[in-house]
Amino acid sequence: MLNKIIKLSKKFIKIPSVSPYDLGCQKIIFKRLKKIGFTIENININKTNNLLAFKGKGKTLIFLGHTDVVPVGNIKKWKTNPFNPIIINDFLFGRGISDMKGSLAAMIVATESYIQENPFHKGRISFLITSDEESSGNDGTVKVVKILKKRKEMINYCLVGEPTSNTVLGDVIKNGRRGSLNVNLIIYGKQGHIAYPNLAENPIHKILNFVHQLVNFKWDKGNNYFQPSVLQISYISSGIKNITNVIPDFLKINFNIRYNTEINKKIIIFQVKKFLLKYNLKYKIKWVHSAKPFITKSGKLLKVVKKSIYKYNSFFPVLSTSGGTSDGRFFSDMNTEIIELGLVNKTIHKVNECVKIKDLLSLSIIYKNILKNIFI
Ligand SMILES: [Zn+2]
């Protein structure tokens, strides 16, 4: 089993599938799944490739993943060629091995092995693999899930292969993610000579109290599943570079709110507008809502994942909802249980991305055990 996983992981790494390009990874997956009886569709939208596969009948478990990777960064800092997989001291190096080509290989080999032993298995196994998880995400999972909804497909369980483990494989799984709202704001003032502020309105001065209140505002206290919601400013600009005697007439500010299930988009918008009004600001605002929060508090998938990890590791995983959002969010209004379990995330998106060889096998064994128990 381990040799198979390593071989497949290496094949994936050799393909420089920098997001949103798949460049043939999904062809490999297509061939492997076809061989074991899956019905497969390629749903290609603009530059993005999506693969949707099903086998069996009844309750459905979908493996969710992506073949794209982030750029290599400073290539001089890599000890190895990022697209030439090499094993050094029991670690496999290559861009995307932990996020998440190694997980893909583990899923596929687990499924092959499970189907070989259980050709007439209960339930339906499915794969949804995209190539734009690391970029815009516009033409990937979100679009395929729309198609699934149109077809009135029931997806009971969604197992996401994102790298959730912190130090030991299976030590952390995600049973939810925070929502994310981006705000692009322009504050207007009145241009003038810096020596005559009474004849102008300085948008930089005008915004100070507003920003202070905004960043110190306590949105909520969090709950059993989520940390408190947080707001972070990502960008501020105003004025004309190197011009020292002009009060500018506008200011741009962008911020992001990672929010939990205690609040929602409406509450955030209401509160931000209230502050804008309080400080009498003239503004233009754009809201970009990229994710609703989701949580799987309990259910069969959670139970089976926890048990499978315990069986292998002799300890239960910690449940977490921290970090960025994931493609799992697109299933949040389909009545689907969503759990994320993947490799150790220490080196993801970094130079010298690598994974312990043994972890690839462990993950595959755990995935196979989940398949064994989810349809019982
Ligand atoms: Zn990823």
pLDDT tens for each residue of 128-137: 999 999 988 8
Determine the Cα–Cα distance for residues 116 and 64; give it in Å rounded to an integer. Answer: 21
* pLDDT bucket at 275, cuts 50 / 70 / 90: very high
Q: Tell me, what's the pLDDT at 83?
A: 97
Amino acid in the structure at residue 134: E
Q: Tell me, what's the pLDDT at 333?
A: 86
What separation, in Å, do the N-terminal and C-terminal C-alpha atoms of the chain show? 24
Structure tokens at 29: 């997956």
Burial of 155 (0-12, 13-18, 19+ CB in 10 A): buried
Dist. CA 339 → ligand 1 center (Å):
14
Burial of 182 (0-12, 13-18, 19+ CB in 10 A): middle
Dist. CA 167 → ligand 1 center (Å):
17
- Break the chain into its structural domains and give their ranges: 2-177+293-374, 179-291
pLDDT in tens, 343-356: 999 999 999 999 99
% of the chain beyond a pLDDT of 90: 95
- Mean pLDDT throughout 82-95? 97
Q: Tell me, what's the pLDDT at 71?
A: 94
Residues in the chain: 376
Structure tokens at 227: 């940390």
Dist. CA 141 → ligand 1 center (Å):
13
Cβ–Cβ < 8 Å for 33, 128: no
Run of H or E including 25? helix 25-35
* pLDDT bucket at 9, cuts 50 / 70 / 90: very high
pLDDT in tens, 210-231: 999 999 999 999 999 999 999 9
- Mean pLDDT throughout 354-368? 97
- Mean pLDDT throughout 249-269? 96
Q: What is the DSSP letter of 229?
A: P
* pLDDT bucket at 30, cuts 50 / 70 / 90: very high
Dist. CA 99 → ligand 1 center (Å):
5
Determine the Cα–Cα distance for residues 73 and 358; give it in Å rounded to an integer. Answer: 27
pLDDT in tens, 94-147: 999 999 999 999 999 999 999 999 999 999 999 999 999 998 889 999 999 999
Catalytic residues: 68, 133
Dist. CA 284 → ligand 1 center (Å):
34
pLDDT in tens, 157-178: 999 999 999 999 999 999 999 9
Cβ–Cβ < 8 Å for 171, 79: no
Dist. CA 60 → ligand 1 center (Å):
22
How many Cβ atoms from other residues are within 10 Å of residue 255's Cβ? 19
Q: What is the mean pLDDT of the chain?
A: 96
CATH of 179-291, picked from 3.30.450.20, 3.40.50.2000, 3.30.70.360, 3.50.50.60, is 3.30.70.360
Q: Which CATH superfamily is 2-177+293-374 part of?
A: Zn peptidases (3.40.630.10)
Q: Which residues contact 34 (CB under 8 A, 6 or more apart)?
A: 40
> Pairing state of beta strands 48-56 and 176-177?
unpaired
Beta-strand runs (E) in the chain: 39-45, 48-56, 60-66, 86-88, 91-93, 124-130, 157-160, 172-174, 176-177, 179-188, 192-193, 230-238, 246-247, 250-259, 282-291, 294-295, 318-320, 337-340, 354-356
Cα within 13 Å of Cα(4), Cβ side: 15
